[in-house]
Amino acid sequence: MNYSELAPAYIRAIAPYQPGKPISELERELGLTGIIKLASNENPLGCSPHAVTAMHEAIKTIALYPDGNGFELKDALAKRYRVAHNQVVLGNGSNDMLELTARAFLSPGDKAVYSDHAFAVYPLATQAVGATGVSVPAINFGHDLEAMRNAAVEQGAKLIFIANPNNPTGTYLSGDALHKFLRALPANILVLLDEAYNEYLPVECRYDSVSWLREFPNLIISRTFSKAYGLAGARVGYALANAQVADMVNRVRQPFNVNSVAQAAAVAALQDEDFVRQTFELNQRGMKQITQGLSKLGLEYIPSFGNFVSFKIKDAARIYRRLLESGVIVRPIASYDMPEYLRVSIGLETENQKFLSALQQILGE
């Protein structure tokens, strides 16, 4: 028998997430060494040394279950953001927050709205619970908030996903635009504001979304330790929300969804503001280096507010493969309906240079 038929039709219809190619896989395939990965928006500086120390310490009690309530991490987050413990939900990466929010609030027949070219997990999380995704056309690759609100109201959607900045486009919405959007939205439509790249926003672009939670009980903010904090492998993220919303999300959470090593790492990482600043500054310089390099090669890119940039290139799939052969892993984004683009993460200066040199050589062939 065909066992896939035992799954509901909405599960069979899911197009699986395509992760960036791991270095070890490319090593096996091509027998190359010195490969660089600029494909998953990881932190090229690694993580805070304090987080490493905390992880070593936490390993000693690995035989014990983690704190299922994540008290210390919640406490650190609650203090940092001036919210109550019961407004914090911890996740196995912020990906978990997206899935859990969908699971808590959507059932088959419900609708969730997101933008074209938005983060791939929004349709995945929506489809996994049998709900229907409504993808709204973008403006210059960015979210069209007004159209998203209209679509949500017209279609009776329960949840809107917003990524700011968005991955893979790097596009950004100002705090004013978001606040205005929230004010005009009926209060019974939930908004998941995904701020995975929040720490990379230039100072003049920052806004205090956490302070909006009092005004908008339908707002859920999700953040992660995977990007600027450099803990992608540890899998830890969190959501901040109204206590009733947080309570519902917590009910569908696995009791021990964030492991003890990850919790310890996140507590230490959160305190290391110097590391986050260094990360930010390296990214600012690297973004300039890569975008100027792309311009020199005559390539167009979408101005980005994250730690990655998507650029337009003819034969993107072929260029991607040629870059792999040169030991540089970037990300094809055809699955985001952007077949003529590739996304490159900002790396160390030497990595950025290696990427630009390889690209220049390939374009000259």
Of the candidate residues 51, 136, 163, 185, the single one contacting ligand PLP (CB under 6 A): 163
Backbone angles phi, psi at 313, to 5 degrees: -155, 135
Which CB atom, from 17 or from 256, has the smaller least distance to ligand PLP? Answer: 17
Q: Kindly state the smallest distance separating residue 330's Cβ from ligand PLP, in Å.
A: 15
SS3 assignment for 132-183: EEEEECCECCECCHHHHHHHHHHHCCCEEEEECCCCCCCCCCCHHHHHHHHH
What secondary structure letter does DSSP report for 119? Answer: -
Q: How many CB atoms are located within 10 Å of the residue 11 CB?
A: 13
142 sits near ligand PLP (criterion: CB under 6 A)? no
Q: Which is nearer to ligand PLP, 39 or 294 (CB)?
A: 39
What b/e string do you get for 70-94 counting C-beta neighbours within 10 Å, with b at 16 or more?
beebbebbbeebebeeebbbbbbbb
Among 226, 260, 304, 326, binds ligand PLP (CB under 6 A): 226
Output the smallest distance, CB 101 to ligand PLP, in A.
Answer: 12
Contact code string over 251-290 relative to ligand PLP, x by CB under 6 A: ----------------------------------------
49 vs 233, beta carbon nearer ligand PLP: 233
| Beta carbons within 8 Å of 312's beta carbon, 6+ residues apart | 299, 300, 301, 340, 341
Q: How far is the CB of 181 from ligand PLP (least distance, A)?
A: 18
Instruction: Identify the residue among 20, 237, 327, 332 touching ligand PLP (CB under 6 A).
Output: 237
CA distance 169 to 176: 20
Residues 37-56 that bind ligand PLP (CB under 6 A): 41
Shortest spacing between CB 79 and ligand PLP, in angstroms: 21
Of 196, 220, 319, 333, the one binding ligand PLP by CB under 6 A:
196
- How far apart, in whole angstroms, are the C-alpha atoms of residue 164 and residue 169? 10
**Count of residues that interact with ligand PLP, criterion CB under 6 A:** 13
- In the region spanning residues 62 to 101, those forming contacts with ligand PLP, defined by CB under 6 A, are 93-95
Judged by CB, which is closer to ligand PLP: 226, or 260? Answer: 226
Say whether residue 164 binds ligand PLP (CB under 6 A). no
Check binding of 232 to ligand PLP (CB under 6 A).
yes
What are the start-end ranges of the E strands in the chain?
36-37, 88-91, 111-115, 132-136, 159-163, 190-194, 219-224, 237-241, 301-302, 308-312, 328-329, 331-332, 341-345
- Which of residues 81, 105, 119, 212 is near ligand PLP by CB under 6 A? 119
Kindly state the smallest distance separating residue 191's Cβ from ligand PLP, in Å: 15
The answer to whether 136 and 114 have CB atoms below 8 angstroms apart is yes
Question: If we measure between CA atoms, which residue out of 181, 170, 240 comes closest to residue 205?
Answer: 170
What is the contact surface with ligand PLP in residues (CB under 6 A)?
A: 41, 93-95, 119, 163, 167, 194, 196, 224, 226, 232, 237
